[in-house]
Amino acid sequence: MRQLLALAVRKRPGVEVQEAADGLAALKLLSVGSFDLMFVDLNMPILDGMKLIKRVRESEAALGGERLRICVVTTESAQATEDQARALGADFFVRKPVSRRDVERILQEAFPG
């Protein structure tokens, strides 16, 4: 799924994609780079998606930096899961299987114009 998302995002001109195999690897990437949008799977090894979102938002609050847009990608269908992710700071929520149209919609909403 990560590779399919990356492929769909790369189709947008001028976009650079970095991939992380787990939540901890994502935090490491965020500590050394600047990103505009992050796709987060809730079921990741080492550091799950909810914990990752929480840590990203806590870090942003402490540093006072620009807010990273976060899109949750999951198989979870419960509304409570989406509500929890949004309460932690997720901007977008999409259920698997994710289509190219879903990715295009999220990119358009995240970066209008």
Structure tokens at 92: 């977008």
Per the structure, the count of domains in the chain is 1
Tens digit of pLDDT for each residue in 34-78? 999 999 999 999 999 999 999 999 999 887 778 999 999 999 999
* Higher pLDDT, residue 66 or 17: 17
CATH number at residue 30: 3.40.50.2300
> Across residues 10-24, what is the average pLDDT?
92
Q: What is the pTM (predicted TM-score) of this model?
A: 0.93
Predicted pLDDT at 4: 85
Predicted pLDDT at 2: 85
Domain that residue 69 falls in = 2-110
Q: Which residue has the tokens 């990608």?
A: 73
